[in-house]
Structure 1
Amino acid sequence: MLKTATPNISVHFWNLSEYVSGRHVGDWIDLDSCEDFDEFRSKVGEVTRNAEEFILSDYESDCGISFGELTSLETVWEAHEFLTDLPEYERDAFSDYLANVGGVEYLSAAISEFPDRYRGQWKSLEDFAIDFGAEVYSEFFKNVPPGFTVEVDVVSFEQDFWISDNGHVFWRH
């Protein structure tokens, strides 16, 4: 798999007990600066002064992935690792897919399903359907008489595929 620039994911953590007491103890952590999960966990401990409880208060991601306040460190790191291994041109597609399946709560399932579900980026579902048809029924498409065009029942295609606002097409099943 072609590796490209790492995804920029930065997360801000607060020490929860200090935050509730009106003191702000926390800071940003850039996941790209961490070699592994243990270093990430250690940096969270440093910025929260080894808090027993902390919250993820904010995040920045150039991949469009979003996290909730109580997202676990393991989930944040799992997202980072997967996006790092994913080719850059598929990162937005994964973000669209993850949002559609329910967000980071379903990250593990989305990671395992994504490679089989993603079909590429298209201007419309109709464009995808015509290209798909030309590939599957190549003999039919070669023999279309001049002056005729192939039309696709997009409503039927929507039963098996969906397209994101960014034009990424996914298989439903």
Structure 2
Amino acid sequence: METVTLSEARVYVGTYNKYNSGSLFGKWLDLSDYSDKDEFMEACRELHKDDQDPEFMFQDYENIPEALISESWLSDKFFELRDAIEKLSETQQEAFFVWCDHHNSDISEEDADDLISSFEDEYQGEYKDEEDYAYEIVEECYDLPEFAKTYFDYSAFARDLFMTDYWMDNGFVFRCA
């Protein structure tokens, strides 16, 4: 999975009129320069002020999940989501999009703060593998004497944990909701 960094999102904005007339004229706009969609759309109108009633065409984009953009549409939720995930670390942001994919969350429609809250409830961290997570659970939750830890079957414990209570993708561990 390619890492998406919403704070570095950019869009190449042209118009259908220019495109249909054989021109690819447009410009890359960094969405970090705009506080909301209205401000972004105003910049698009200013860029293409020579078109009467321009129909914008987002010909290319970077660092924006496909659920938030298409050739002729940018989700109203983009700026809300961008601002909400800024408090997450880069690793957590990557895990957030893995989590969204797993849950089939419609990030273009759902409330950003609710999504972040649900993600934070389920996200456990980044681990080498399931057994690595099992080691941490044993250390944190069980008061085993050192000699018992040498006999403990971490592999079987991990298998049991991930059968029903947890899931892992791309090294990120999540608690099942």
Query: TM-score, normalized by length of structure 2?
Result: 0.71
Asked if 1:115 is matched to 2:137, the reply is: no
2:173 pairs with 163, 169, 172, which one?
169
Gaps of 5+ in 2: 1-5
Distance 1:158 1:58, change over 3 A: farther
Aligned to 1:85: 87
Gaps of 5+ in 1: 1-5
SS of 1:7's equivalent? helix
Query: How much is the aligned-residue C-alpha RMSD, in angstroms?
Result: 3.1
Distance 1:96 1:153, change over 3 A: closer
Query: TM-score, normalized by length of structure 1?
Result: 0.73
Aligned to 2:33: 33
Aligned to 1:100: 102
Q: 1:73 offset after TM fit, Å?
A: 4.2
Q: 1:25 offset after TM fit, Å?
A: 4.1
**Paired amino acid for 1:150:** D
Q: 1:146 offset after TM fit, Å?
A: 6.5
In 2, the alpha carbon distance for the partners of 1:58 and 1:101 equals 27
142-151 or 37-46: bigger deviation = 142-151
19-28 or 85-94: bigger deviation = 19-28
Answer yes or no: is the 8 Å Cα contact 2:10–2:29 preserved in 1.
yes
Q: 1:47 offset after TM fit, Å?
A: 3.2
Distance 1:38 1:105, change over 3 A: closer
Percent identity over the alignment is 25
Asked if 1:148 is matched to 2:125, the reply is: no
Answer yes or no: is the 8 Å Cα contact 2:75–2:108 preserved in 1.
no
1:123-172 per-residue CA deviation (whole Å, 9 max, x = no partner) reads 01221133124323x22x3365364133214155242222122x111122
Answer yes or no: is the 8 Å Cα contact 2:9–2:31 preserved in 1.
yes
97-106 or 77-86: bigger deviation = 97-106
Distance 1:97 1:14, change over 3 A: farther
Q: 1:36 offset after TM fit, Å?
A: 4.4
Q: 1:122 offset after TM fit, Å?
A: 0.4
1:105-132 per-residue CA deviation (whole Å, 9 max, x = no partner) reads 4653633421112111000122113312
In 1, the alpha carbon distance for the partners of 2:160 and 2:48 equals 52
SS of 1:12's equivalent? strand
SS of 2:148's equivalent? coil
Asked if 1:7 is matched to 2:7, the reply is: yes
72-81 or 16-25: bigger deviation = 16-25
